[in-house]
Each structure stands twice: as structure tokens, then as C-alpha cells.
Amino acid sequence: MKLFFLFGDLVTVTTVGAASGTLCSLCFSESWPMLLAMFPGMAIGMFVGFGLASVAAMWFGAFEVSVPSMLGGMLAGMAVSMAAAMRPVTVGEGLQIGMAVAFVSLLFTYVADAFLRGEQKV
């Protein structure tokens, strides 16, 4: 059963990252200052993460999906918007960067969860 939830987290987070990255690659260009592009990119990622996590929470649990999805969307939006402020970012690149950043954030949340829970007695 745990594999089902792991798969759900993986699909949800990478979808959030891909959607956030794609939207941010369409919204930002080199005309934006990098620091200024970061904040609306973060907001776009958070809104995408909230929307998709709300749907996925019906099957995979609200807390388990919302934390990695919101973090992944936020970081993917920030990364792609800042990259687009430096150089042209295509939609495909935005999708790839967003998915990669969101996947790393999922790994981070799993490692942080294991560290905070500590040693478990079975």
C-alpha cells in the first residue's frame, strides 16, 4: 500500500512541477529583473501546487500530497522564472526544469520526514 502512495506523490509532484515550469516559461522573459521575476513565479507555482494537490488529496491524503506539491511548485516556479529572466527558456525546457526541481523537493521532503521521525521501533 505504501508503494501506491509513493507513486501518487511522485506523479502529483512531477505534474505540479511540469505545469508550474511550463506556465512560468510562458509568462517570463529577459525583460524581467531576476529578483522581481522570482516572486510571481513562486506564486504561480504555489497556486498550481494548491490546485493539483487539492485534487490528488482525494486519493492520496491531504498532508502527504500537499507539502511536497506546494514546495515543488513553489521552487519550480521560482527556478524557471529566474532562468527565463536570464535567457530564453522554451516550454520544453520549462517543463523539464520544473519536473526536475519538483522531484528534488519530493526527495527532500522524504528525507526530512525520515530524519524528523527518528528511529522507529517495530
Q: Is residue 120 in some structural domain?
A: no
Q: Is residue 8 in some structural domain?
A: no
Give the span between the Cα atoms of 71 and 102, in whole angstroms.
8
Q: Is residue 65 in some structural domain?
A: yes
Q: Is residue 74 in some structural domain?
A: yes
pLDDT at 114: 87
**Which residue range forms the structural domain that includes residue 66?**
13-25+33-111
Residue with cell 519538483: 102
Q: Is residue 51 in some structural domain?
A: yes
CA atoms within 13 A on the CB side of 56: 28
Q: Is residue 121 in some structural domain?
A: no
Q: Is residue 3 in some structural domain?
A: no
pLDDT at 122: 65
pLDDT at 64: 80
pLDDT at 1: 55
Could you read off the pLDDT tens digit of each residue along the chain, which spans 122 residues?
A: 588 888 888 999 999 999 999 999 999 999 999 999 999 999 999 999 999 999 998 888 887 888 999 999 999 999 999 999 999 999 999 999 999 999 999 999 989 988 888 777 66
Q: Is residue 54 in some structural domain?
A: yes
pLDDT at 108: 94
Number of domains present in the structure of the chain: 1
- The SS3 call for residue 115 is helix
pLDDT at 76: 96
